[in-house]
């Protein structure tokens, strides 16, 4: 599922900037992927801030999944970069950074599987094996011990495989995100039916942030591979219908805004993805400013050539 291509005819009128903005916000997969990535980043931070016994109620959804908090960060980053290189269609790792803390708080790494992205059958097979193991433990007779009433009240109950009740604090939020972003066809998310089925199967089992790794990976691909390049190209060729001084004013203003955003990012800690999306603003402004007189000169030359041709044709006819 890809956004419709930009046509030059849609940028030929005076209100082409409004058309470009409407194309970005309504005609492309822009708003929903960016909102989802921001939510997923903050959700992972809130999830990892929970106490260990609450996090244990949300088991890791993938076989071979490991979570490292503050340990082996450099090794995991190198492993993630090495694993992701050349694998655009498969999700092998998750790299979650929290710039709100000013440093790398943790990295959640998904070990690569030789056969590529695990399928839904792999998840269900892993779940069946875990259910069989729990059933075997329950059928094995255990020694009876005397436990005081106070100790029984303070001891948390065992973590179930499927979360239920009050022991899943983010279940309602995850369900709302599923309905708004993933299950909805109007959200314009770059997801296939297979991605939705895998995410739904994992979400039925746990609310771990890694459940949404497939969705986050597809959103990152869509923003980096499609939306940012088309936004820059569309903004650069959008300036042909404006006058020379107007183009210079718009270009200089855009560059000043982008430079102000850079200084603001130095002294504050914005989210990761808005910081990435702010970069093309400078390049579009620079393209508008550097365009200068080129479009105007080309237009005047073409008009003069057209007038010369028309006058010559008139002389020939006469």
φ/ψ of residue 17, rounded to 5? -65, -40
Token code pair at residue 74: 């450099």
Q: How far is CA 281 from CA 29, 139, 199, 266, in A?
A: 18, 63, 34, 17
Confidence of residue 167 (pLDDT cuts 50, 70, 90): low
What pLDDT score does 234 carry?
A: 65
pLDDT tens string 120-142: 445 455 555 655 665 566 566 55
pLDDT, the chain, mean: 60
Residue that the structure tokens 């959804």 belong to: 61
- Report the C-alpha gap between 211 and 158 in whole angstroms: 22
Q: What is the pTM of this model?
A: 0.45
What DSSP string runs through 14-83? TTHHHHHHHHHHTSSS-HHHHHHHHHHHHHHHHHHTS-HHHHTTS--SSTTEEEESSSSHHHHHHHHHHH
pLDDT tens string 287-304: 666 665 454 444 444 455
- In this model, does residue 246 exceed pLDDT 60? yes
**Left if phi > 0, otherwise alpha if psi is -120 to 50, otherwise beta: which for 102?**
left
- In this model, does residue 94 exceed pLDDT 50? no
How far from chain centre, in Å, is Cα 294?
A: 37
Residue that the structure tokens 């269900």 belong to: 124
Q: Which residues share a beta bridge with 110?
A: 65
Q: Mean pLDDT highest for which of 76-80, 172-176, 187-191?
A: 172-176
Query: For residues 280 and 77, which has the higher predicted lDDT (pLDDT)?
Result: 280
Nearest-CA neighbor of 215 among 34, 72, 71, 70?
Answer: 34
Nearest-CA neighbor of 182 among 166, 196, 162?
Answer: 196
Q: What percent of the chain has pLDDT over 70?
A: 30
Q: How far is CA 71 from CA 19, 104, 107, 108, in A?
A: 48, 11, 9, 11
Cβ contact 57:168 at 8 Å: yes
Neighbouring C-beta atoms of residue 116, cutoff 10 Å: 12
What pLDDT score does 6 carry?
A: 42
Query: For residues 183 and 20, which has the higher predicted lDDT (pLDDT)?
Result: 183
What DSSP string runs through 123-154? HHHHHHHHHHHHHHHHHS--------HHHHHH
Query: For residues 100 and 133, which has the higher predicted lDDT (pLDDT)?
Result: 133
- In this model, does residue 207 exceed pLDDT 70? yes
């Amino acid at each position: 599922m890809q956004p419709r291509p930009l046509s030059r005819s849609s940028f030929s009128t005076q209100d082409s900037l409004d058309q470009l903005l409407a194309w970005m916000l309504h005609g492309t997969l822009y708003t929903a992927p960016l909102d989802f990535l921001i939510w997923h980043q903050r959700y992972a931070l809130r999830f990892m801030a929970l106490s260990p016994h609450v996090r244990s109620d949300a088991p890791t959804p993938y076989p071979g999944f490991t979570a490292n908090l503050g340990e082996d960060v450099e090794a995991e980053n190198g492993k993630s970069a090495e694993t992701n290189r050349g694998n655009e269609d498969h999700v092998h790792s998750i790299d979650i950074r929290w710039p709100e803390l000013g440093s790398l708080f943790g990295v959640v790494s998904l070990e690569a599987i030789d056969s590529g992205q695990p399928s839904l059958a792999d998840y269900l097979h892993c779940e069946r094996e875990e259910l069989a193991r729990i059933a075997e433990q329950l059928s094995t007779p255990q020694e009876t011990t005397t436990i005081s009433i106070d100790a029984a009240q303070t001891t948390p109950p065992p973590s179930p495989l499927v979360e239920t009740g009050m022991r899943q604090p983010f279940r309602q939020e995850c369900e709302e995100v599923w309905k708004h972003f993933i299950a909805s066809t109007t959200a314009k998310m770059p997801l296939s039916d297979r991605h939705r089925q895998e995410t739904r199967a994992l979400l039925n089992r746990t609310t771990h942030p890694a459940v949404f790794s497939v969705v986050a990976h597809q959103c990152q691909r869509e923003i980096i591979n499609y939306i940012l390049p088309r936004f820059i190209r569309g903004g650069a060729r959008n300036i042909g219908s404006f006058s020379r001084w107007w183009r210079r004013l718009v270009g200089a203003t855009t560059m000043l805004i982008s430079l102000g955003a850079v200084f603001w990012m130095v002294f504050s800690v914005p989210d990761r993805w808005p910081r990435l999306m702010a970069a093309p603003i400078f390049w579009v402004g620079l393209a508008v400013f550097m365009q200068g007189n080129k479009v105007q000169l080309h237009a005047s030359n073409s008009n003069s050539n057209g007038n010369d041709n028309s006058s010559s044709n008139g002389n020939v006819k006469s």
